[in-house]
Structures are given as C-alpha cells and as structure tokens.
Amino acid sequence: MLKLGVPSKGRLQNDTFKWFQSRGITLKRTGSDREYTGSIDGVRGIELVLLSAGEIPQELAKGRIHLGVTGTDLIYEKLLLHETQIITVEKMGFGFADLVIAVPNVWIDVNTLHDLDAVAAQFRQTHGFRLRIATKYHNFVRKELREYGVADYQLVDSQGATEGTVANLTAEAIADITSSGATLDANHLKVLSDGVLLRSQASVFASKTANWINLDNTISELCAKMDWKELVL
C-alpha cells in the first residue's frame, strides 16, 4: 500500500482534504476526534496516515510514508539533508507564511542582517552576553544566519507567543513564521529588509527512501487523477 501522510487536525487538515477533494479524491477521518484513523476514496491502493504536521518530515525521511503534506518551513527545519531525502511534488497554494527575522521598531538604525550583526557584537560588549533571538526554528535559522555572516548571538527556544518574548525581555529579536504581519505590528516589531529567510506553503512531498516497489499501478492512477506527469524520485 502507498501511504499518504496528512496533518491530523486543524486548518491545514481541512484545507488538505478540500484540495484533494477538488481533484476527485476524498480523504475522510474515521472514528472520534481522538482517533487518528482515516480512509481514501477515488484511488485504489492508498492508505491515509494522520500525523502532526511536524512529524511528517521525519516520517518521509525514514521512508515510513511515501507521500506527505506539510509546510515547507517544517521540511527545512526538521530535515537538514532534505535534498537527499525528499522531493517536492506539488505546491498546494495554501498555508502561506514567511519565516522572518524581526527586531524592535525602536531600533531605527537596524534594517538589515548586516546591521543586526553589528548590533550583536556591540550588544555583547555592552551587556556581557550574546544578543538573544527567540525561535522554534533552531536548525534552519542557525544555518541561514551563518550564511549571512551574523555572529555573536544565541538562539533561545520559544514554542509559542514568540512575538511577545521581546516585550517580556526574554529576547532582543525573533525568528518566526508570519502570514499577515499583524502580530508583529501589535508587538512593535519590524521585519528586516532582507530578513525573510523562507517563504513557506503547504506542499505534497515524496520520500526518496520509501519502498516504491510494486506500486506502479497505484502511482499511475494517482498521477492521472492529480495531473502529475510522473513521480521522479
């Protein structure tokens, strides 16, 4: 059986179900809200696997599911070697969000990552500890800041309400996902002019490590339904 992993709850699940429905494939959740079971109608030989969006990258990388729906941001954060582990099959056109670096509005002279690097060095000299950037995207943010040459900072973990960490004095800047920017504005934060590290959206990904043997008929039927030319792994 070909295993398709989709988010187990929330708006991302609802939008995913609608997206597949528009292509003639019905995804259904079965059982109670506490049971992560489901079914698929419209294509033979596919098993629906309900997982948290954050689990799907690892399940793809380990080959336990063949296809998975999740955000680009989670792929880049969870899979540092994602180029060797998965491919992007199709961008789905929803779940848009940007992973950004934002600083307080009152930092009028800090508008670029180069400025942030300079401030970070000065901050350490003045305060005796590194400038703190609150985020839950430790791997990806560290990689991107290294490429931009930003040093003398430390990442502090924030799994929720990241925009509030600056006002709460637990961080001086943030790296977080934003869609409208309204929460950043409400917390008096601004995105650096070159501070959009990633433009994310929900996408269908395929595993390069899963066992695709004896799935040719299912793949052909799925590709025809989805208007995919083929799955090149």
pLDDT tens figures, 123-134: 999 999 999 999
> Is 194 found in the same domain as 111?
yes
Q: For the purposes of burial, counting CB atoms within 10 Å of the CB of 24, is it exposed (0-12), middle (13-18) or buried (19 or more)?
A: exposed
35 falls in which pLDDT band (50, 70, 90)?
A: low
Residue 167 lies in a domain: yes
Q: In this predicted structure, what is the pLDDT of residue 212?
A: 97
Q: Give how many domains the chain has, as a whole number.
A: 2
> Is 196 found in the same domain as 141?
yes
Write out pLDDT tens, residues 181-198.
899 999 999 999 999 999
The rounded distance, in Å, linking the Cα atoms of 53 and 77 is 12
Residue 97 clears pLDDT 60, i.e. is over it: yes
Classify residue 165 by its DSSP letter: T
Residue 156 lies in a domain: yes
Closest C-alpha to 72, from 55, 59, 91, 58: 91
Residue 55 lies in a domain: yes
- Model confidence, pTM: 0.91
> Is 138 found in the same domain as 90?
no
> Is 130 found in the same domain as 70?
no
What CATH number is associated with residue 158? 3.40.190.10
Structural domain for 152, as ranges? 97-200
3-state SS string for 21-89: HCCCCEEEEECCCCCCEEEEECCCCEEEEEECCCCHHHHHHCCCCCEEEEEHHHHHHHCCCHHHHEEEE
> Is 44 found in the same domain as 25?
yes
Q: In this predicted structure, what is the pLDDT of residue 31?
A: 65
Q: How many percent of the chain have pLDDT more than 70?
A: 97
- Report which listed range, 38-47, 63-72, 118-127, is most confident: 63-72
